[in-house]
Structure 1
């Protein structure tokens, strides 16, 4: 599991919830109900082992995860469990009854299955629409809180609060602006004095904005200087375009050079990480600027350059170099200095990312080595970034909110571990 390869942040020992005494409990042991976790404080991409003790023999209870996103909207996931003969439940070994909200035993399953709760202005969404749990950004808060509860017959038996961290220790953050720095982004840097590691330039896709900020913060907490770069739709007054149209490679090259000079950065190992439409420019940067970029991480990728996107973007190209449009068509990867790692879902309804990942892996880099791909057959388009902290969801056929996060979360967990391994190479 990912946590087995990662250093634990914060307290590494088991921590118990303070028990709550239910009125009229059916068994004396239930007065000592408690939630035990191995990581009460941990990075947001780390799993957490959850156990419940002090229940009555074979008690049937509900275990739930609760949190609030950056807009104040409550999110929740719950599952029904049955205690063993000694009044214990181990979420790492027992799945919820009925397979809801996830099917296989997973101690962190509730974290990835949360949905917006009703009654707080939640809008029903159409089939295929995507939405995600977004806590306050790392620039706003270094962590977010998640509460676990155990209840039976409407009565709370125990609760436990977890702290999920984006930033640890002395990780530093600074905002970059077009006016001052000629770029829009969030820079996260490890503490000074640590050994030099691969820096990572991170950006998203057709959603625009600065969607890579959470991932950049986690990478910095793991020792990698990281810059989450916004290249279009960066907000009013940002100075960046509102459409994916003629976005010049020089913008990313400038950002990479600034990132490579950060304390703790090894510029010879600089990597670029792009999601969906962002996978196109990530590959183009690795191919056209191999002296600057080494490895490329392409989530839900395309293997070709596609056209412009968003209103007003017709008639030109999505990407440019030195003011000249880069033509649509297949992306060659034979000049890439390092490895292109493509992570895809076989059930991607957005576009054929699985086929694209195979096309990427069929190519060889400048040294003659093959690029890499991993495809998760049941996962969709939301395989990007890290597990647990930012679960992607989709709308159902009748507009109801449903979770599609199970396979996507598995893909994120596996993909993130591969990314960390590649960066340490």
Structure 2
């Protein structure tokens, strides 16, 4: 049996800055506030209010020729813990800096030119999180649930010799104004989850059932919210560790496929959903049940997105000596072992990092892609050689740290960001095209 990945530790949760703009659809470019002195530097952002998975271009103007300055991004987490990333940049002869074209001097905190590099490079600067930097434990921040806050805020600053020359805030949205949210509970709905529904469009869209892995809880809610903002009805489902009084177990032990199928049917009835195109999106341990659903229930599930996947069913997790099997069907345990994918109606898209220290997800992705669906078409895999285990979901955020299989503690953070950027576009294409 393959090694079961340990649960993520030290998860820090980042909250909005004191006040974010009310969530609106787009957000055009505008100038930052300028200092009340003769420096006249300004930060220009093409989309100061944008979806959290949308790229933003950041430029700085009004500096002196070849000025050397520090550009920083910062936010504050739910417990008041500050997070920050900063890089040193040199202005051109016209006093301009374009983060999309310039990498920080010295390759820190990221190595390649990237307009959103600072957003993904933030680390805690005070509190418990600081002690985890360099520990080898994976951690990242999660802004408040989209059910609580539709957006979160970040602050950008430019300083020279310790003097602030410019600052501005940007708003990263999970939801647009027209997306509706409702909470589903075991007591009322027989499932625990967060439903995000966009207004119906001209055509029905593929609905997406999203769930996480061994971390438990409802970690897929950010991705579900963004999918809804992109027009896909989405349900983020919690299947274990859902909180006191949730009615859900605290271990991956005999979790029945029927629970997920019930959620899929609820989702498929949402306005604007095309139930014939329903997809499931599972991360890490969740990739196992995602594949099982596609294989065993092709009439309900068409496509499967498997992040950091396993190609086998592993044993129970956190169940102790009484554990029987991770997954079940009609109350009967599903045996550990290889997962066949020949009955899948659509496509299994496996997304993995080649420097995954949790388990061999890149090899698993290759094994998945070597199989064929019910129509004889090959499944797909995308592997990012330098990325680690946390390649899942949306780009332009999720700062944190993970040690790679090569033993370097911060080996994968930048590569994980690049993997999310590339793979998210492919996931959206699969949902829209089905190929």
Interval of TM-score (by shorter of Structure 1 and Structure 2): over 0.9
CA drift at 1:120: 6.7
Task: Classify 1:204/1:331 alpha carbon distance in 2 versus 1 (closer, same or farther; 3 Å).
Answer: same
CA drift at 1:393: 1.5
Give 2:71's aligned residue: 63
Cα pair 1:70 1:134 within 8 Å, conserved: no
- Is 1:105 matched up with 2:113? yes
Q: Is the partner of 1:123 in helix, strand or coil? A: helix
CA drift at 1:119: 4.9
Cα pair 1:197 1:266 within 8 Å, conserved: yes
CA drift at 1:126: 6.7
Aligned with 1:128 (options 120, 132, 136): 136
After the TM superposition, which of the residue ranges 122-131 and 201-210 deviates more from structure 2?
A: 122-131
Q: Is the partner of 1:167 in helix, strand or coil? A: coil
CA drift at 1:402: 4.9
Cα pair 1:392 1:404 within 8 Å, conserved: no
Task: Classify 1:119/1:302 alpha carbon distance in 2 versus 1 (closer, same or farther; 3 Å).
Answer: closer
Give 1:224's aligned residue: 232
Query: Deviation digits for residues 202-226 of structure 1, max 9, x if unmatched?
Result: 0000111000000000000010000
Give 2:346's aligned residue: 338
Aligned with 2:262 (options 254, 260, 272): 254
- Is 1:95 matched up with 2:97? no
Pairing of 1:32-181 with structure 2 (within 5 A): 32-119=40-127, 122-124=130-132, 127-181=135-189
- Is 1:243 matched up with 2:251? yes
Query: Deviation digits for residues 85-107 of structure 1, max 9, x if unmatched?
Result: 11000001100000000000001
After the TM superposition, which of the residue ranges 252-261 and 113-122 deviates more from structure 2?
A: 113-122
CA drift at 1:391: 2.6
Pairing of 1:390-401 with structure 2 (within 5 A): 390-394=398-402
Structure 2 CA distance, aligned partners of 1:349 and 1:84?
Answer: 41
Structure 2 CA distance, aligned partners of 1:391 and 1:70?
Answer: 15
Pairing of 1:246-395 with structure 2 (within 5 A): 246-312=254-320, 314-394=322-402
Task: Classify 1:404/1:377 alpha carbon distance in 2 versus 1 (closer, same or farther; 3 Å).
Answer: closer
* RMSD over equivalenced CA pairs, Å: 1.9
Structure 1 CA distance, aligned partners of 2:247 and 2:225?
Answer: 24
Structure 1 CA distance, aligned partners of 2:191 and 2:153?
Answer: 32
CA drift at 1:388: 1.6
- Is 1:16 matched up with 2:31? yes
User: What 5-or-longer segments of structure 2 have no aligned partner?
Assistant: 1-23
Give 2:427's aligned residue: 419
Query: Deviation digits for residues 15-67 of structure 1, max 9, x if unmatched?
Result: 11011145xxxxx6xx2100011000100001110000000111000000011
Give 1:25's aligned residue: none
Structure 2 CA distance, aligned partners of 1:194 and 1:242?
Answer: 42
CA drift at 1:193: 4.8
CA drift at 1:137: 0.8
Task: Classify 1:193/1:422 alpha carbon distance in 2 versus 1 (closer, same or farther; 3 Å).
Answer: closer
Structure 1 CA distance, aligned partners of 2:260 and 2:233?
Answer: 16
CA drift at 1:228: 0.3
Output the TM-score relative to the length of structure 1.
0.93
Q: Is the partner of 1:358 in helix, strand or coil? A: helix
Would you say how many aligned residue pairs link Structure 1 and Structure 2?
409
Query: Deviation digits for residues 254-288 of structure 1, max 9, x if unmatched?
Result: 00000000001000000000000000000000000
CA drift at 1:192: 3.9
Query: Deviation digits for residues 129-173 of structure 1, max 9, x if unmatched?
Result: 111111111000000001110001111100111010000021000
Structure 2 CA distance, aligned partners of 1:118 and 1:59?
Answer: 30
Give 2:5's aligned residue: none
Structure 1 CA distance, aligned partners of 2:56 and 2:411?
Answer: 21
Give 1:206's aligned residue: 214
Cα pair 1:130 1:393 within 8 Å, conserved: yes
Give 2:8's aligned residue: none
Structure 2 CA distance, aligned partners of 1:72 and 1:396?
Answer: 29
Task: Classify 1:247/1:396 alpha carbon distance in 2 versus 1 (closer, same or farther; 3 Å).
Answer: closer
Task: Classify 1:160/1:294 alpha carbon distance in 2 versus 1 (closer, same or farther; 3 Å).
Answer: same
CA drift at 1:403: 7.5
